[in-house]
């Protein structure tokens, strides 16, 4: 970068001297249009169940969804992301409940589409971990995650969600080749308009603990996910993952977690010029909430962290703060 001029002729503080001037020269903005609201689903009627590891976050029964969607629309949040807490009795080695057209996610899609049509977008996670008895994202055999065998189930899961009315299919499983297989299946079945948001860059992170508790996979997970999720030491590998997924048909790219990987967001945006979403994951959320509660940090930290994603190049952010801060954004 070439900076022309020098002190005292050049005084960068001049543009910071007043509130209106700071607004005028602001390089990045944050609005409700930038936010995606995650929603955790639970079986039953009229249920709102707290999640101990995530302050002020709840699991909701399907019949309570309109309350959440109404508020999201009022706050101009463009999309919600659905995540199920599957009853343990419905889980098995194969994750069969993922293909049940009456599972929690499918019920939620149908309700939202019937009541709201296209007023709000629906994003659905594609992976088997909420449905398997071992807590992994794919099929497990003798301690090994089977890639190609898992693809067949992920394709069928994607087709089911799309047929129910899901707008954005979001494979988070990190199996090789799944974006291409899902894209081909969607196109072949008359679902060319369904978007794919690929979790192309999903790191094997310690920040996922509260989420795994929220969907009921934490205590049953056998081993770790390092054979399919990425090593957090690597950045060039992330570029290869993104390049492959774009070539296979991804419309948007996800980086997960968010804050520790701002450099990755910027690299993707600089290199590929594709819409990028950041996921401010459960561990990030809970750390910030607990810091605020204990008065270690200020509430303004929330906006500061979200703005950092925009500054790095993210088009949107999946955040558990979405409905809490959208009202205060312009």
Q: Return the structure tokens found at 69.
A: 């969607």
Query: Could you check whether the bond before residue 109 is cis, i.e. omega within 30 degrees of 0?
Result: no
Catalytic residue among 75, 91, 225, 256: 256
- Cα 314 to Cα 274: distance, rounded to the nearest angstrom: 10
Cα of first residue to Cα of last residue in the chain, in angstroms, is 31
Instruction: Look up 117 and say whether it is catalytic.
Output: no
Instruction: Look up 256 and say whether it is catalytic.
Output: yes
Query: Could you check whether the bond before residue 52 is cis, i.e. omega within 30 degrees of 0?
Result: no
- Cα 23 to Cα 146: distance, rounded to the nearest angstrom: 52
CA atoms within 13 A on the CB side of 144: 5
CA atoms within 13 A on the CB side of 120: 31
CB 130 within 8 A of CB 173: no
CB neighbours of 27 closer than 8 A, spacing ≥ 6? 311
The helix or strand, by DSSP H or E, that contains position 116, with its residue range, turns out to be helix 104-116
- Cα 329 to Cα 75: distance, rounded to the nearest angstrom: 9
8 to 4, 11, 12, 15, 65: CA distances (angstroms): 12, 6, 10, 14, 59
Q: Which residues pair with 81 in a beta bridge?
A: 38, 123
Catalytic residue among 91, 202, 225, 310: 202
Active site residues: 202, 256
């Amino acid at each position: 970068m070439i900076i022309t001029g020098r002190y005292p002729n050049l005084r960068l503080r001049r543009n910071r001297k007043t509130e209106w001037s700071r607004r005028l020269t602001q390089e990045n903005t944050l609005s409700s249009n930038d936010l995606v609201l995650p929603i955790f689903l639970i079986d039953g009627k009229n249920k709102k169940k707290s999640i101990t590891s995530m302050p002020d976050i709840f699991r909701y029964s399907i019949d309570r969804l309109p309350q959440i969607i109404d508020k999201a629309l009022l706050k101009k949040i463009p999309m919600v992301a659905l995540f199920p807490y599957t009853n343990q009795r419905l889980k098995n080695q194969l994750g069969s409940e993922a293909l049940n057209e009456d599972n929690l996610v499918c019920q939620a899609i149908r309700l939202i589409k019937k009541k709201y049509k296209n007023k709000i977008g629906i994003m659905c996670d594609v992976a088997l971990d909420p449905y398997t008895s071992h807590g992994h994202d794919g099929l497990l055999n003798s301690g090994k995650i089977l890639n190609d065998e898992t693809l067949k189930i992920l394709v069928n899961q994607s087709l089911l969600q799309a047929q129910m009315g899901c707008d954005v299919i979001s494979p988070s499983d990190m199996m090789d080749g799944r974006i291409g297989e899902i894209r081909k299946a969607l196109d072949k079945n008359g679902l060319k308009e369904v978007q794919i948001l690929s979790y192309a860059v999903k790191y094997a992170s310690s920040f996922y603990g509260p989420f795994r508790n929220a969907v009921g996979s934490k205590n049953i997970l056998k081993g770790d996910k390092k054979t399919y999720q990425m090593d957090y030491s690597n950045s060039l590998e992330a570029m290869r993952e993104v390049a492959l997924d774009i070539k296979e048909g991804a419309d948007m790219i996800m980086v997960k977690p968010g804050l520790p990987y701002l450099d990755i967001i910027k690299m993707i945006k600089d290199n590929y010029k594709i819409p990028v979403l950041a996921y401010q994951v459960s561990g990030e959320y809970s750390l910030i909430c607990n810091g605020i509660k204990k008065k270690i940090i200020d509430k303004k930290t929330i906006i500061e962290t979200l703005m950092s994603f925009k500054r790095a190049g993210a088009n949107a952010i999946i955040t558990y703060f979405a409905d809490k801060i959208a009202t205060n954004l312009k």
